[in-house]
Structure 1
Amino acid sequence: MAAKTNAGRFFEDYAIGQVIDHAVPRTVSGGERALYHALYPARHALASSDAFAQACGLPAAPIDELAAFHVVFGKTVPDVSLNAVANLGYAEGRWLRPVWPGDTLRSASEVIGLKQNSNGKTGVVYVRTVGRNQRDEAVMEYCRWVMVRKHDLDAPAPETVLPDLKPALDPQDLVVPQGLDFSAYDFTLAGEPHRWGDYEVGETIDHVDGVTIEEAEHMMATRLWQNTAKVHFDATLREDGRRLIYGGHVISLARALSFNGLANAQTIVGLNGGAHANPCFAGDTVRAWSEVLDKAETDAPGVGAIRLRLVATKGGAPFELKGEDGKYRPDVLLDLDYWALMPL
């Protein structure tokens, strides 16, 4: 009798140009918003209040952009990273239209790069993922690359193909949500007075607060996104017997902490790059700091774009990213480069 269970794909199972339609579409609702805000101290007004969003030209408050990202990402895990050793990086991420309660999201990924590692036991798989809604409209896209185990160590190495990915999105690549208008923006309700013109390229911001990660919370979050990666749940997979915190959990936590100092960076529209620099485990206390990398105006009334580096740490001093050897400091958990929209 043929086996009915699925052990997931291994490195030798991928081929350039392969397109994978991921299983289990997900209809999102206000429940996702409530759980997201329960799991993280998320307070950005545009995704919190229908009235605030309507005053900014939108029909209602969209689902938090990172919540939508996690739903789209979670679909890909059984096919792309179930047998991954590590999620290595992101590039060319764009939020193409808001996700509203009632939307049904699904994902598909195309293999755009392959490189077997010199040890012959693992390889790096590059994919471009597109998330679509029930109207077949693309709501987001991004590239990521993961290190995946080989199952058959004797399988021949594929021809190395490395995709040509942009180091950062141009401001013209960004998509402003249709109707967004910050010309009558209410800074009091948003929580801070700082507007686009108040930030300077090179400026750094210590977000002050910290949150200690609990085991149950990160596993609940990862289940919420239907992310099935074994390392987040099965403590027997690591020699130290610890569950690895889903990197998206750290991203959302750091983004929520950045409210203190960047409350008006209302919505993420571009993901230039990102690295999960060191593993995170329950008991770690996550703190965050940001650096302003670039600024650009948009065609939308009152709306500016700001490029930010968001760094999450587990106790290190703010504004220290790499050591003299050029490697990330051991206390750095996340280095994320993104574009957000902010009132002028």
Structure 2
Amino acid sequence: MTKTNPGNFFEDFFLGQEIVHATPRTVTEGDVSLYTALYGFRHMPHSAEPYAMGLGFEAMPLDDMLAFHMVFGKTVPDVSLNAVANLGYAVGRFGAPVYAGDTLRTTSTVIGLKENSNGKTGVVYVNSIGINQKDEVVLDYVRWVMVKKKDLNAPTPDTIIPDLPKAVDVDDLVIAEGLDFSSYDVELAGSPHLWEDYQIGEKIDHIDGMTIEEAEHQMATRLYQNTAKVHFDQFAAKDNRFGKRLIYGGHIISLARALSFNGLGNAFKVAAINAGAHANPTFAGNTIFAWSEVLDKQEIKGRSDMGALRLRLVATKDHPADDFPYKDDEGKYHPDVVLDLDYWVLMPRRG
């Protein structure tokens, strides 16, 4: 009898299935330093503890996407070890801030299933929740992933596709108790542009590019304890249609977010992920560029120190983010588009 974990295949999932993921992960200052080295984050509250505490944080918080990766990584051995591709995200809300020393654990519930017409794969929808050692929710999100079937003759499950909202409502964004951005220092933050300075429909070319190195993306994925074979196993990858390993989609998210500092230097607090798609695969050697579009801006009830911006972050590979048709008339992505992420940020206001 085997003692190893082969991972779940599509036919192993069932609607309502609850999965407790191993292993709880205590985040350290070393993790934060490595994350900074990998992506070059420069947002002030994630870089300088005294100034973070001056905004009401208990200490210097993790970048929200690092917290996302830590929570996400726990789900991989059970949900996407046998994945073909991670397809998208929706209704993700960030809750309690995460600090070095916090211990995170994740649970998931299967909320949807759809076998593909080829009979070889299917799409699994899961709602994953990350919790800290105080039982506070740090992240609650939905993702869907295409997973291989092991037994091609396994019965086809009833198709259930969850009805997901297009965006998280501003009133449902979580603002941690005690946060107050009224003393935010734009000079030390490196950008003078606050919530009032952005307009709906505005597009921002983040200009800079960053080339993906093979070693860096594998180190990043190991940092999150993401064990998906498609990122590590070149022996297995030679048989896929690309003949090489795929870059973890979350690596692209963090690269693009880091690039977005140039133009969105004060958009440091991610509050929600409304939707996201990994539009095309990325490989080592590709250079990532990014641009953002302001989709919406909303005041937050009772707050004069912060407002909410809804942003679309688009990342491209080997294609500077100047104006080009990133989607065609039928809604299909240009082959150089690798990420389309719709998310809310909390941004300081002038008051």
Q: TM-score, normalised by structure 2?
A: 0.96
Alpha-carbon distance in 2 for matches of 1:96, 1:21: 20
Alpha-carbon distance in 2 for matches of 1:326, 1:58: 41
Alpha-carbon distance in 2 for matches of 1:333, 1:250: 8
Alpha-carbon distance in 2 for matches of 1:225, 1:216: 15
Alpha-carbon distance in 2 for matches of 1:314, 1:300: 39
Alpha-carbon distance in 2 for matches of 1:95, 1:294: 19
Asked if 1:343 is matched to 2:348, the reply is yes
Q: Is the 8 A contact 1:204 1:319 kept in 2?
A: no
Unmatched runs of 5 consecutive residues or more in structure 1: none
Alignment of 1:119-198 (within 5 A): 119-198=118-197
Aligned counterpart for 1:255 among listed residues 238, 245, 257 = 257
Aligned counterpart for 1:333 among listed residues 332, 335, 338 = 338
**How far is the alpha carbon of 1:104 from its aligned partner?**
0.3
Q: Deviations along 1:166-208, whole A, 9 cap, x unmatched?
A: 1111101111122111112100011100010100000000000
Alpha-carbon distance in 2 for matches of 1:121, 1:161: 18
* Secondary structure at 1:333 match in 2: strand
Q: Deviations along 1:211-250, whole A, 9 cap, x unmatched?
A: 0000000000000000000010111223443111000000
Identical amino acids, percent of aligned pairs: 64
- Report the residue type matching 2:136 in the other structure: E
Kindly tell me: are residues 178 and 300 of structure 1, through their superposed partners in 2, closer, same or farther at Cα, counting changes over 3 Å? Answer: farther
Alpha-carbon distance in 1 for matches of 2:64, 2:28: 14
Partner of 2:309: 306
Alpha-carbon distance in 2 for matches of 1:260, 1:125: 36
**How far is the alpha carbon of 1:51 from its aligned partner?**
1.1
Q: Is the 8 A contact 1:176 1:300 kept in 2?
A: no
Alpha-carbon distance in 1 for matches of 2:198, 2:62: 26
Alpha-carbon distance in 1 for matches of 2:197, 2:230: 42
Partner of 1:84: 83
Q: Deviations along 1:58-104, whole A, 9 cap, x unmatched?
A: 22111111101100000000000000111110000000110011110
Partner of 1:210: 209
Alpha-carbon distance in 2 for matches of 1:133, 1:301: 30
* Secondary structure at 1:208 match in 2: coil
Alpha-carbon distance in 2 for matches of 1:25, 1:319: 44
Partner of 1:282: 284
Alpha-carbon distance in 1 for matches of 2:170, 2:213: 37
* Secondary structure at 2:207 match in 1: strand
Aligned counterpart for 1:245 among listed residues 236, 244, 247 = 247
Unmatched runs of 5 consecutive residues or more in structure 2: none
Alpha-carbon distance in 2 for matches of 1:78, 1:197: 43
Q: Is the 8 A contact 1:83 1:229 kept in 2?
A: yes
Aligned counterpart for 1:268 among listed residues 267, 270, 281 = 270
* Secondary structure at 1:295 match in 2: strand
* Secondary structure at 1:75 match in 2: helix
- Report the residue type matching 2:281 in the other structure: P
* Secondary structure at 1:197 match in 2: helix
Alpha-carbon distance in 1 for matches of 2:197, 2:51: 22
Kindly tell me: are residues 319 and 308 of structure 1, through their superposed partners in 2, closer, same or farther at Cα, counting changes over 3 Å? Answer: farther
Q: Is the 8 A contact 1:181 1:301 kept in 2?
A: no
Structure 1 runs (4+) deviating above 4 angstroms are: none
Alpha-carbon distance in 2 for matches of 1:122, 1:139: 31
Q: Deviations along 1:12-68, whole A, 9 cap, x unmatched?
A: 000100000001100001111101100001011111111111221222111111101
Partner of 1:219: 218
Alpha-carbon distance in 1 for matches of 2:304, 2:33: 30
Partner of 1:315: 318
- Report the residue type matching 1:166 in the other structure: P
Alpha-carbon distance in 2 for matches of 1:297, 1:51: 27
Alpha-carbon distance in 1 for matches of 2:3, 2:323: 50
Alpha-carbon distance in 2 for matches of 1:190, 1:60: 17
Partner of 1:201: 200
Q: TM-score, normalised by structure 1?
A: 0.98
Give the root-mean-square deviation of aligned CA atoms: 1.0
**How far is the alpha carbon of 1:319 from its aligned partner?**
4.1
